[in-house]
Structure 1
Amino acid sequence: MNTAHFNSLSVDELWILHQEVAAKLAQKMAVQKAQLEERLHRIELANEATRLNRKRRRPYPPVRPKYRNPKNPAETWSGRGRQPRWLRPQLRSGRDLDDFLIDQA
């Protein structure tokens, strides 16, 4: 941009130019702000719709214990997930998992 002609302008002409530029900038910023706010509103609506449309995980019934610690009958295990601490050493010592089954009678 050639700025040499600014040197030939008077203070009043520069001030008028400044006001015109500031007004034009404010106008463009207002338009851009409105566009960004509309875009943000659409994104928020899409996020809300996604959140509402997410499938909820079905509730699973509680699983009954299948195995019991013979040394402490209060310690049980359903057979799901990680093996409990009381069971691991028993299995390493050669015992079978069926040795810990709870009678289903």
Structure 2
Amino acid sequence: MKKPNLDDLSVDELWQLHEELNRLLSVRLTAEKRALESRLAQLRRENEAAKAPSEPPSSRPKRPYPRVKPKYRNPNLPHETWSGRGKQPKWLAAALRTGRSIEDFLISNR
């Protein structure tokens, strides 16, 4: 295809070329989008077919764990407690940095 010399075209001719390019791009992009959407739908169908019907669904309920009673209490704010599992709360970590022992925060009547 021979490239047109754009410098020789008038403003009206350039505008017509612009509109024709926009129309062609719109048609091609729409066709490509439809092709991609149909391929995606096909891949989804294949993925669903590949899953064995005997497999349990991936969103099965979590195993219920028993609630753990608190083991440590913040003496300054008694409603702040910690069971001893997971990450240490900030109040306990700060107190331990000051030199206090973790046994100082044990709840006595467990």
TM-score by length of 2: 0.50
In proportion to residue count, which structure has more helix?
A: 1
> Quick one: distance in 1 between partners of 2:67 and 2:49?
37
- The aligned amino acid for 1:72 is L
| Other-structure match for 2:79 | 74
Q: CA RMSD in A?
A: 2.9
Determine which of 82, 88, 94 is the counterpart of 1:83. 88
2: CA distance, partners of 1:95 / 1:81: 20
Corresponding residue for 2:65? 60
Q: Distance in 2 between matches of 1:76 and 1:40?
A: 48
Question: What is the CA distance between 1:61 and its match in structure 2?
Answer: 1.3
Please name the residue that 1:95 is paired with.
100
Select the structure of larger CA radius of gyration.
1
Q: Give me the TM-score of the superposition, normalised by structure 1.
A: 0.52
Q: Distance in 1 between matches of 2:63 and 2:92?
A: 30
- The percent identity for this pair of structures is 47
Q: Name the counterpart of 1:43.
A: 47
Secondary structure in 2 aligned to 1:89? helix
Count of aligned positions:
70
CA distance in 2, matches of 1:90, 1:98: 12
1:40–1:83 Cα change, 3 Å: closer
Matches within 5 A, 1:5-44: 37=42, 40-44=44-48
Counterpart of 1:96 in structure 2: which amino acid?
S
